[in-house]
Amino acid sequence: MTSIGIDLGTTNSAASTLIGDREEILDIEGDRTIRSVVSFEPGDDEVLVGNMAADLMERNPDVTVSSIKRHMVDDDYTVSIDDDSYEMTEYAPEEISALVLKKVLAGAEGSLGEAPDGAVITVPADFPENARAATRRAGELAGVDVLRLLSEPSAACVAYGLRDRDEDIERVAVYDLGGGTFDISLVDVAHEDKFYDVVATEGEQELGGDDFDEALAEWIAEQIEDETGVDVTDDPGAFLQLKGKAKNIKEQLSARNSATFRDPGTISGENVDIEITREQFEEVTEHLVDRTIEFSETAIESQDMTPDDVDTVLLVGGSTKIPAVKEAVEEFFGQEPSQEVNPDEAVAIGAGVFADSIDPKKALEGDGEDRSELPSDSEGIDVGDVVPDDLGIELASGKIDTIIESNANLPTMERREREYTTVEDNQTRALIKLYQGEGDTVDDGDLELKTEFVLENIREAPANEPEITVQVKLDEDGVLSAHAWDESVVGSDVIDPEDADEVADGEAHIDMTPSGDEEKLSVEEIRALLPSIA
Ligand code: ADP
Ligand code: MG
């Protein structure tokens, strides 16, 4: 039994799975990625999907569908195919996507030797609810159990294994320039919780490798006109062909300083040879790169950050192989971006790793890890439920201090940094009780105790001096976990709670009473915390 991850891209799609401990891109009939293109060739009773369909695009654009992902958000959009060899002549975007997924699944079955029975499918971080629902339906139409939808930037973070690193919290910028779209996302990685939170995403649906192809094709057309007097842009078919060649030249120029455009006469009617340097390509596409940096700026500013505040930058999407793109990103963020995982494959790899980690069947097979709590059909990791009621801790005064407000989107995490302290001199322990519900105090309100735990090893100090941080997290399924630590114990701003023994934590399900295996101590024995007055 295997679960796989699928990057259902605007331009290209790919799938991956874990084989043993290794992430593997699944071969789809000989290719690692396939074009997300569907072709309804007349007279053929099989729909062509993938690279062969993409090859037909130039010759028969009327029966070829590409970039359908852009329309997943539009409930009323249909693709009309004007040919009677097909029963259906009108297709909803999810039906076209289902055909792409079917191809990916068939390829996966071929390379795995069995049909995958569950899949995680990735979606852009800012995909609205209806587009997510349409993606789910596409998976179901293709005949696979959609375990979860995962946002693309989160998938990239998973592929890089960021959560398994040693640091505590990290802010990551995922710069994703694909074939037709650009996204810049800021993701918080909370290592101790294995938690990813996309805090901001900016970008454009119509900015990607295609625009680079088009800009270069227009420039080449000018050169052709100078040489031959023929304006290729007047003939849509010829220009489409030229764009195809421009794409090829663009990709060559990522590895070389110059490339040659050759037309034996099929495009302009005359024999043309044009030498194109990387520098010339960079000039005609500079405005596109600049736009991506403007979006990056907007995203950073939306979080009141500066580029310096970003700890790691990941490059995702085929178009980040363009050297000028890499350079612009490096200049903006003031650090070298990571490209260790192939940018064409990072999203698929992350989805595959994630699919394995939530595979419900693995829990039954008993591979040692208890995954029984993990649902098989919850909504996407970035959408889903909201917190029904305020969640807060009880202070020594008896008052409830709200940490997570009702209606926050799940998953969510709040950290109150150095906001709490002790009420007694040399107090080394504190009881942290988390309540959910309405009311100012436990006695005077409708509150339910969700979890309680004891924070130990508080630095011996006069009352009010220790600076204590409390962090509360609700994952996408509403599972609550909380951590607390004394910042002054280790003497650094941020500690890794996993490594520090003074960290205490508790877990409970939001709809369940806590397990209560924490050491129970009465409120008299241990004082709860007061907000610091600093
Ligand atoms: P999407 O996420 O939109 O499905 P991809 O991430 O697969 O797209 O990116 C596809 C784009 O990447 C295409 O425009 C393609 O031309 C471009 N691309 C792929 N390889 C290279 C390369 N070596 N140099 C420049 N562009 C490349
Ligand atoms: Mg992509």
Token reading at 222: 């000018």
**Helix or strand holding residue 214 (H, E):** helix 209-228
Per-residue pLDDT, 257: 97
Ligand 1 pocket, mutate which of 11, 37, 181 (most atoms under 8 A from CB): 11
- Phi, psi of 380, deg, nearest 5: -50, 155
Partnered with residue 289 across adjacent β-strands are none
Output the pLDDT for position 507: 40
User: Would you say the CB of residue 7 lies under 6 angstroms from ligand 1?
Assistant: no
Catalytic pick among 41, 69, 183, 245: 69
Longest dimension (CA), the chain: 93
> Which residue reads 């062909």 in tokens?
241
Indicate the residue type of 83: D
- Catalytic residue of the set 41, 95, 168, 176: 176
CB 167 within 8 A of CB 496: yes
Residue 93: predicted pLDDT: 96
For ligand 1, pick from 152, 319, 327 the residue to mutate: most ligand atoms within 8 Å of CB. Answer: 319
Is 438:445 a contact under the CB 8 Å cutoff? Answer: yes
Nearest CA to ligand 1 atom 24: 251
Residue 348: the pLDDT is 98
Which residue has 């023994």 as its token pair?
501
Residue 483 Cβ < 6 Å to ligand 1 = no
Which protein residue has the closest C-alpha to ligand 1 atom 8? 178
Contact 191, 497 (CB under 8 A): no
69 is catalytic: yes
User: Which ligand 1 atom sits closest to the C-alpha of 318?
Assistant: 12
Cα of 228 from ligand 2 centre, angstroms: 39
The sheet that has 530-531: what strands, in order across it? 504-509, 479-486, 468-474, 412-421, 530-531
Q: Which of 336, 339, 332 minimizes the C-alpha distance to 305?
A: 332
Say yes or no: CB of residue 9 within 6 Å of ligand 1: yes
In this prediction, residue 442 carries a pLDDT of 85
- Catalytic option among 23, 41, 94, 152: 152
203 lines ligand 1 (CB under 6 A): no
Residue 318 CB less than 6 A away from ligand 1: yes
Phi, psi of 38 (to 5 degrees): -125, 130
Distance (Å) from CA 482 to ligand 2 centroid = 34
Cβ–ligand 1 distance for 66 under 6 Å, the answer no
Phi/psi-derived region of residue 176, left when phi > 0, alpha when psi is between -120 and 50, beta in every other case? beta
Q: Cβ contacts of residue 527 below 8 Å, gap of 6+?
A: 396, 422, 423, 424, 427, 430, 431
pLDDT digits (tens), the chain, 534 positions: 689 999 999 999 999 999 988 999 999 989 999 999 999 877 666 789 999 899 888 778 888 999 999 999 888 999 988 766 656 578 999 999 999 999 999 999 999 999 998 999 999 887 877 788 899 899 999 999 999 888 899 899 999 887 666 666 689 999 999 999 999 999 888 665 556 778 888 998 889 999 999 999 999 999 999 999 999 999 998 999 999 999 999 999 999 999 999 999 999 899 999 999 999 999 999 999 999 999 999 999 988 999 999 999 999 999 999 999 999 999 999 999 999 999 999 999 999 998 988 776 654 444 444 333 333 232 233 323 456 678 899 988 888 999 988 767 667 888 888 888 888 888 888 888 888 888 888 888 888 887 888 887 788 888 888 888 888 887 665 567 788 888 776 543 333 444 444 445 544 322 222 223 333 322 222 233 333 222
Q: Which among 418, 532, 412, 397 has a CA at the least distance from the CA of 484?
A: 418
The helix (run of H) or strand (run of E) holding residue 283 is: helix 278-302
Check if 254 has its Cβ closer than 6 Å to any atom of ligand 1: yes
Retrieve residue 302's tokens: 């939306």
pTM of the shown model: 0.71
Two tokens, residue 277: 């340097």
pLDDT of residue 407: 63
Does residue 152 have an active-site annotation?
A: yes
213 is catalytic: no
Catalytic residue status for 7:
yes
- Report which protein residue has its CA nearest ligand 1's atom 20: 318
List, as one string, the DSSP characters of 312-348.
Answer: EEEEESGGGGSHHHHHHHHHHHTSPPB--S-TTTHHH
User: What confidence tens digit (pLDDT) does each residue in 129-157 have?
Assistant: 778 889 989 999 999 999 988 889 989 99
Q: Which helix (H) or strand (E) holds 273?
A: strand 272-277
Q: What pLDDT, on a 0 to 100 scale, did the predictor assign at position 516?
A: 32
Mutation to probe ligand 1, out of 251, 281, 282 (largest number of atoms < 8 A from CB): 251
Give me ligand 2 centre to Cα 47, in Å. 24
